[in-house]
Amino acid sequence: MSKTLFERIIAREIPAKIEHEDELCIVLHDIQPQAPVHLLIIPKKALPRIVAATNDDQALLGHLLLTAGNLAKKLQLANGFRLVVNNGHDGGESVPHLHVHLLARRPLTWPPG
């Protein structure tokens, strides 16, 4: 089975602009940003999408959200931000590796997309 784009970035086979990295995740700047701040918070564990997560992934999923909050503080996103998780084709998933989008520094409308 071939590696996803994100697995190749984590393995340093493809370059990326890294904002943060720890033992559980890596945070990249999106190459097609939809806002002035558009980060991807990606678990190092290959998890294709949120519906594939199990109870064993609870701590990892919590870590992704806490990392997003810590980055929002670090980047001083006091005016607000949005977290998005896409699942499946109709949900806008483009890479089959779970990731959280952090979007900020522009007004975000509702409903999205």
Which residues are designated catalytic?
99
Helix (H) or strand (E) holding 73: helix 58-74
56: alpha, beta or left, given left = phi > 0 and alpha = psi -120 to 50? Answer: alpha
How far is residue 27's CA from residue 110's CA, in Å, rounded to a whole number? 25
Continuous H helices in the chain: 5-10, 58-74
12: left (phi over 0), alpha (psi -120 to 50) or beta: left
